[in-house]
Structure 1
Amino acid sequence: MSDEINMRRRRLLGTTVAGISLTELGLGGFAHAESSAVASGSSTASFENLRQINAGTLNVGFAQAGPQNGPVVILLHGWPYDIHSYAEVAPLLVAAGYRVIVPYLRGYGSTRFLSTDTPRNGQQAVIAVDVINLMDALKVDQAIFGGFDWGARTANIIAALWPERCKALVSVSGYLIGSQDANKAPLPPKAELAWWYQFYFATDRGHAGYDANRHDFNKLIWHTASPKWNFDDATYERSAASFNNPDHVAIVIHNYRWRLGLVTGEAKYDELEKRLALAPPITVPTITVEGDANGAPHPEPSAYAKKFTGKYAHRNISGGIGHNLPQEAPKAFADAIIDVARFQSS
């Protein structure tokens, strides 16, 4: 069995939530920032420490806090973001009694491949398998999942293929499971324009350009995906550090090329991809959420509502909220997690 190694962060930020100490609340690895800072675009919340654990083909870096015997919530980030998208959400959930786990996906932060021989594969199925392996390593049978962007797609896949591992789901932008065949169909010009970076990544020039300019490239994506979020440099730099992962570029490029059918995945995931290509319904209790200023490509809620066949609700979050909804509207996201758990227990 793999061992956990505490990696202490230097950053020790705020220590209270409404006058109650983090220790009293069991927040452990989380530091707190005032919600007013989020509204101004400055978020000082961070993770005080990280842990590492061997899981499948990876040594996964993750933050964890809350009671060990509490109901588990796994929060999954997207591209080009990292675990700090949930630095404001996590303390709210821990204060409500949840055990919160926030992993770096493959190619981000302190997550590393155990072998140099493992393909640097970014196809959709493998990222979901990574999370199932993490759950097995941590001896977590079931969890409530929350995610956006790649994280929402990954949570969708787990809910669809392994519903016994998913108690309930909160998904930004709804149903995001795709297939290479579906992606062969051209989109209207306006929609194709929104995917400009995917076509850039399909070229050798795009690969080299992203490698050389990932810091500024990803900051541009932050601005275009969340045009009304006035995040400051410190907020961006805290997440940008995770893009220095040695496998980051390879994973990102493979992910977007795989979607267009320009590269293959690993044969051992073919059966999973065949099942996903059928766009399987999601039966677990679900709340989908969408920001009113999401500048990233995303479907309309009416296009995916019927894919959720269990107890279901959709919420539009107003106030200029963009693509990185958990970081831009942490209370709304945390409330959705708490509320969907009630769906599950009712």
Structure 2
Amino acid sequence: MSNFKTIETKTLSIAFEQYGPDNGVAVILLHGFPYSPRAYDEIAPPLAAKGYRVIVPYLRGYGPTRFNSPETLRSGQQAALAQDLLELMDALGFEQATLCGYDWGGRAACIVAALFPERVRGLVTGDGYNLQDIPNSIQPLDPQSEHRYWYQYYFHTPRGVEGLTQNRRALCELLWQLWSPTWARNAERYPLSASAFDNPDFVDVVIHSYRHRFMYAPGDPALEWMEQALEKQPAIGVPTISLCGADDGVGPAPAEDEDAHHFTGFYERRVLSGVGHNIPEEAPGVTLKALLDLLQR
């Protein structure tokens, strides 16, 4: 069973679910957009049963997590997600943790692993190297990839803001279906996460995230130092396992590993047949095994 808790950081009151003993080795499991901690329902309890202290937070803009001040920019930029993770670890007293994340959560985990490797014991990342190369975001991708990114371009427009505001549950359910096209449990599992998108800051954070990554919205000035560090595309040296969905509707795993050169320590890529974008929820056993493989090294 999990314990629902909140903890104050400089910017947020972060809601999270905790599993396992307070003195266990720390593991933090991070969801993406548009998902929730429910992605780890079949992963957190087995880790706790082995004695690990498992933390599953709601990211900024999701569920009961709230900003401390109405004046704070509702930023969804990559540096903000990483800073939230660092501040959560500090508030919990974690000098080091094993991190697992995909999509937005994978980005936060990869950034902390790259810039603060002493804080990360191991990393399970969905789809490899998740740091955005924002200065080069203006360069177009191949037409098929551009087509799969339609939702990002939609969010760049006022119509997209209103569409997400009015239709957030239906729109996010559509993304689940498109991104995990071969998963039979979309209809069953989606309702368990949908309420997390009713957060009053959800739309603002999402819109800012997809505009900032293409340089269509300014970032938080307090995080500019981190964004500048990320422009150098720093390598990740902590022990890492990358899980890639072969059926990912956002970005299917290519045959050749295009991210391997970003990793300088132990690194292994595992391509998951029949799995889409929602990796831990679609493939909990494989995700759990990757975590244990790192924790028991």
Q: TM-score, normalised by structure 2?
A: 0.97
Partner deviation per Cα, 1:11-32 (whole Å, 9 max, x = no partner): xxxxxxxxxxxxxxxxx41xxx
Moved over 3 A (4+): 298-301
Q: In the alignment, does 2:288 pair up with 1:334?
A: yes
Alignment match, 2:119: 165
Bigger mean CA offset, 215-224 vs 92-101:
92-101
The answer to whether the 8 A contact 1:173-1:288 is kept is: yes
Partner AA of 1:308 in structure 2: F
How is 1:8-157 mapped onto 2 (pairs within 5 angstroms)? 28-29=1-2, 49-157=3-111
1:271 paired residue among 225, 228, 242: 225
Partner deviation per Cα, 1:57-98 (whole Å, 9 max, x = no partner): 100000001121111110000000000000111112112221
What stretches of structure 1 of length at least 5 have no aligned partner? 1-27, 30-48
Partner deviation per Cα, 1:247-305 (whole Å, 9 max, x = no partner): 00000000000011100001111111111011100000000011221111356351101
Alignment match, 2:268: 313
Partner AA of 2:111 in structure 1: I
The answer to whether the 8 A contact 2:114-2:235 is kept is: yes
What stretches of structure 2 of length at least 5 have no aligned partner? none
SS of corresponding position for 1:303: coil
The answer to whether the 8 A contact 2:181-2:249 is kept is: yes
2-structure distance, mates of 1:189, 1:233: 29
2-structure distance, mates of 1:62, 1:202: 30
The answer to whether the 8 A contact 2:179-2:276 is kept is: yes
2-structure distance, mates of 1:96, 1:159: 24
Partner deviation per Cα, 1:121-156 (whole Å, 9 max, x = no partner): 111001110111111111111100001111111100
2-structure distance, mates of 1:56, 1:299: 37
Aligned-residue Cα RMSD (Å) equals: 1.2
Q: In the alignment, does 2:207 pair up with 1:253?
A: yes
2:179 paired residue among 192, 208, 225: 225
Q: Aligned in 2, Cα 1:223/1:137: closer, same or farther, shift over 3 Å?
A: same
Partner AA of 2:268 in structure 1: A
Q: TM-score, normalised by structure 1?
A: 0.83
2-structure distance, mates of 1:292, 1:262: 31
The answer to whether the 8 A contact 1:171-1:288 is kept is: yes
2-structure distance, mates of 1:181, 1:298: 24
The answer to whether the 8 A contact 2:103-2:126 is kept is: yes
Partner AA of 2:231 in structure 1: A
Partner deviation per Cα, 1:34-71 (whole Å, 9 max, x = no partner): xxxxxxxxxxxxxxx42111112100000001121111
User: How many pairs were matched up?
Assistant: 296
Partner AA of 1:281 in structure 2: A
Query: What is the aligned-residue identity percentage?
Result: 46
Partner AA of 2:281 in structure 1: Q
Alignment match, 1:295: 249
Note the C-alpha offset of 1:234.
4.5
2-structure distance, mates of 1:310, 1:317: 22
Alignment match, 2:137: 183
2-structure distance, mates of 1:215, 1:65: 28
1:211 paired residue among 165, 179, 190: 165
1-structure distance, mates of 2:262, 2:280: 23
Compare CA radii of gyration and give the structure with the larger one. 1
Partner AA of 1:168 in structure 2: G
The answer to whether the 8 A contact 1:173-1:298 is kept is: no
2-structure distance, mates of 1:233, 1:197: 20
The answer to whether the 8 A contact 1:228-1:321 is kept is: yes
1-structure distance, mates of 2:15, 2:119: 21
